[in-house]
Amino acid sequence: MIIKTNSRLPVSAADSFAKYPVLPLMTGVLFPGTVFSIQIGRPENIEVINLYQKNKKKFITSYSHAEVETPKDPPIHQVGVFTIVRDVSEGPGGSKIVTLEGLKRVSIKEIVATEPYLVAVAAEIQLPQFISRNIKRKTEEVITIVQEITQLDPVYSPELLNIIKMNMEDPSLLADRIASTFHFSLAAKQELLEAVNLEFRYERLLHYLNEELNRVATVLSINQKVKKRIEEEQHKAYLRQQLHEIKKQLGEDFTEEKEAARFRNLIKSSPDLPAEVIVRAKTEVDRLSQLSAASAEYGVTKLYLDWLLNLPWGKNTTENYNIADVQKVLAEDYYGPDSLKEQILQRLSVRKLMGGKEEGSTLCLVGAPGTGKASLAKAIAKALGKDFIRISVGGISDVSDIKGTQRTFLGAYPGRIIRALKDAGAPDPLILIEDIDYFNLDNDSSVNMALLDVIDSRRNAHFLDHYIGIPFDLSKVFFICSVRSLEEIPEQFIPRLEIIELPGYIEREKITIAKKYIIPDLLKKHGILKSEFRIYDKTLTRIINNYTQEAGLLSFSQQIEKIYRKIALEKAEKKKKYWTVSEKNLESYLGTPLYIPEKAETMPEIGIAAGLAWTGSGGELMFIEGLKMKGDGQIITTGSLGEVMKESIQAAYSYVRSKADILGIDFNDFNDFDIHIHFPSGAIPKDGPSAGVTVSLVIASVLSERPIRNDIAMTGEVTLRGRVLAVGGAKEKISAAYRAGIYNVILPKENEKDIKELPREILRKTKFTFIERVDELFELCLLDFTPSTYSLEKIFAEEIKKAKRKKKSAKRKPHANAARSRHKK
């Protein structure tokens, strides 16, 4: 490809266009009358040099824009230079060091060959012979600027000006020599090469020379200021040293010596300091005593010693806790599943036997906001008698936030972990690291690895903070991580974390927690006595169902706070002395309900079934609707569905189609009718396979035209062979059905173990049916449905067997058969 110039190129009429090899230059621009050395490594370019170095034939060199080698032909500029080879020597790796000399400007018309090297049709550019007075004036301006640059910048040789003045008689050569010598950009040099008109060339040359002069002047000014600053600092240091000696002779006290003495006493009074810390501290104290209190270095050194000597080096406390006492504290301070508490007790037992160290995976609590992650961590810290520290790593995107910054940087500081340990004053607190799902959103692996160095028990025994500069033992620290969902944990962390999932709370559990923890705590915070306030369980139930939509307790607690704030206002105004919040007056405190919960249908209908779903806000009842209409057998789905859910619908449709004979569905209906499956709340994205059984039932109901029972809710994944697989969130889903007034729930057989942790009230009222195949679902939920004992294939097989038995019996007793047939007639 040829990059055309915008200028008109006067080509000599006498010189016709001819073919010449082309050598692309990627690192420089060659001018006529100048010499240029480059390293050549491409085979096609080496071949050009080998052919033309002996007979001194001319070829073309042209600047190429390609900054790196590319397999394709690099783009070259239309204006190049006729060139000859002056010298060739061997270079590293089979390359060649070539010295080239530029002769005349040349205009490239077109490239006619690329193998074995570039060949182009070109002709020499005819330069104007007449030199105007204006050119001579500009030549003098150029010489003046060159003289200023060579005087200011030591990079340019003082002899450069004399060499350039030798070309004064030829203004074109003078401009080319200057453009080649000075540090212009390659694009600027190519622009000067393409400037055939001398006046225009000198205008651009003056422009670039002025830019170079400004740059040189700026650099010189900065260097002079730096030099002056250094001289001033040296002078001040000399004066300080003199002052120090004068005060020493006078016997006066020094602030520096006092601080140094304080730090020396602190070192002596700290028997737990490691030897490495003592050596570093003594070195820094000696340095501090030699500095002036007015110097910036004094403050930096003093701050470092404060951090170094006030860290809890070696102050380990004995973990002498009783597992029975720990179990009691967890039961009092945290309301949750017993299986979860047992898992915590197992880890603590191992920690006790290992002397307070953990060599296993780091504990990670996974649960929606408000499900008690921080409460559980705080309860563990209380049970172990440790300080509880919460550190949020959300928004961190730099290693220095975790490991600190180097002391050489202005405003250097330790990382968050070291700062937390200094504030705690103990080397073995319980640290809850929150918001890992918002950590390192730029996905920088070095930041992830920095946090992994903190929490990974295999590495943290020698954790190095960049500011402190000495390894600190974090193996005694009890780290717990928390995150909203398993999918949001960074990939590098998953192998080193032990996941404990905290399920969302159901309605009955929220009421229990509110009465036991939330309400007493909020009463105390709002200055309300327990005897002055009363709220019913039914009121709490309505708050949960109509004013919140969450798996945790955050929004629930906020709604109760709103009630207390209004009561606190009335109490401050002395309007009342006693308050009762019931279902009747709840709206006067909280306003219009924010949510309307789903309720069971009043009667069985065709094509609508109650499915159970799990979301971040807990279990929900979801009515899935189906409709058939004339068409060509397509499945239409609506409701913001994900790919997994769409595949689940297709699998359910295929299974129902395979069981058409049992369901009494005409096979032609699958080709003559379209099926539309709709999931409500279309603005909310939905995904997952757990709606498979509900979709299967809806499709079967629509095609067989049989209504579905309205008092049953269901959940389960369906395979292509009709098997029903286990799903997650069974506890929350059952609670959603119970809230909606549906007391018959169908679950996969594998989820039978999940109902053990349900409240007794739900277990007493709800009837559970566990199925392994979808066929059982049709029997349970479709009205007016009696499944056939045999499929059509089995029926045909039985008919054939009967016919064969009749033929055999007819051969044995022909007379009896004839008499029997006459009797039938």
State residue 391's pLDDT score.
92
pLDDT tens across 186-216, in order?
888 888 888 888 888 888 888 888 888 888 8
Rounded to 10 degrees, the C-alpha dihedral 754/758/763/769 comes to -20
Q: What is residue 438's DSSP assignment?
A: G
State residue 822's pLDDT score.
44
Provide the pLDDT confidence category of residue 809 given band limits of 50, 70 and 90: low
Average pLDDT over residues 331-346: 87
pLDDT tens across 288-313, in order?
887 777 778 888 889 999 999 989 98
Provide the pLDDT confidence category of residue 256 given band limits of 50, 70 and 90: low
Average pLDDT over residues 614-628: 82
Average pLDDT over residues 641-664: 89
Q: Is the pLDDT of residue 588 over 60?
A: yes
Q: Is the pLDDT of residue 83 over 80?
A: yes
State residue 818's pLDDT score.
46
Tokens of 821: 């047939």
pLDDT tens across 152-186, in order?
887 888 777 777 788 777 888 888 888 888 888 88
Average pLDDT over residues 235-258: 71
Provide the pLDDT confidence category of residue 616 given band limits of 50, 70 and 90: low
pLDDT tens across 710-733, in order?
889 999 999 998 899 998 888 888
Provide the pLDDT confidence category of residue 407 given band limits of 50, 70 and 90: confident
Q: Is the pLDDT of residue 813 over 60?
A: no
Q: What is residue 804's DSSP assignment?
A: H
pLDDT tens across 17-35, in order?
788 888 888 888 899 988 8
Catalytic residues, by residue number, are 690, 733
How many H helices and E strands in the chain? 29, 26
Q: How many residues does the chain have?
A: 825
Residue 568 buriedness (CB in 10 A; 0-12 / 13-18 / 19+): middle
Q: What is residue 737's DSSP assignment?
A: H
Residue 659 buriedness (CB in 10 A; 0-12 / 13-18 / 19+): middle
Provide the pLDDT confidence category of residue 769 given band limits of 50, 70 and 90: very high
State residue 795's pLDDT score.
47
Range of lowest pLDDT (95-99, 246-250, 283-287) = 246-250
Runs of H (alpha helix) within 577-636:
586-590
pLDDT tens across 465-493, in order?
999 999 999 988 999 999 988 778 888 88
Q: Considering only CA atoms, which of 103, 100, 123, 87 is closest in space to residue 173?
A: 103
Q: Is the pLDDT of residue 314 over 80?
A: no
C-alpha span between 164 and 434 (Å, rounded): 69
Average pLDDT over residues 98-108: 88
Q: Is the pLDDT of residue 68 over 90?
A: no
Average pLDDT over residues 377-387: 91
Tokens of 29: 């621009």
State residue 792's pLDDT score.
43
Cβ atoms 733, 666 nearer than 8 A: no
State residue 73's pLDDT score.
65
Cβ atoms 436, 393 nearer than 8 A: yes
Q: Is the pLDDT of residue 69 over 60?
A: no
Range of lowest pLDDT (344-358, 541-555, 625-639, 810-824) = 810-824
Q: How far is CA 522 from the centre of its chain?
A: 37
Q: Is the pLDDT of residue 770 over 50?
A: yes
State residue 109's pLDDT score.
85
Cβ atoms 713, 739 nearer than 8 A: no
State residue 255's pLDDT score.
63
State residue 801's pLDDT score.
67
The upper half-sphere exposure of residue 63, i.e. CA atoms within 13 Å in the direction of its Cβ, equals: 22
Q: Is the pLDDT of residue 622 over 50?
A: yes
Q: Is the pLDDT of residue 553 over 50?
A: yes
Average pLDDT over residues 242-251: 70
State residue 815's pLDDT score.
47
**Ordered DSSP codes for 134-150:** HHHHHHHHHHHHHHHHH
Average pLDDT over residues 435-456: 86
CB atoms within 10 A of CB 86: 14
Provide the pLDDT confidence category of residue 367 given band limits of 50, 70 and 90: confident
Tokens of 407: 């002391």
C-alpha span between 27 and 98 (Å, rounded): 13
Tokens of 535: 């709220």
State residue 745's pLDDT score.
93
Average pLDDT over residues 747-764: 84
> Highest-confidence range of 7-11, 549-553, 598-602, 679-683, by mean pLDDT?
549-553
Tokens of 374: 């921080």
C-alpha span between 393 and 9 (Å, rounded): 64
CB atoms within 10 A of CB 89: 9
State residue 685's pLDDT score.
78
pLDDT tens across 772-803, in order?
998 888 888 887 755 543 344 444 555 566 66
Higher pLDDT, 243 or 678: 678
State residue 322's pLDDT score.
86
Report helix, strand or coil for 116: coil
Q: What percent of the chain has pLDDT over 90?
A: 21
Mean pLDDT score of the chain, rounded to an integer?
84
Average pLDDT over residues 456-460: 86
388-392 vs 79-90, strand pairing mode: unpaired
Provide the pLDDT confidence category of residue 763 given band limits of 50, 70 and 90: confident
> Highest-confidence range of 134-138, 598-602, 680-684, by mean pLDDT?
134-138
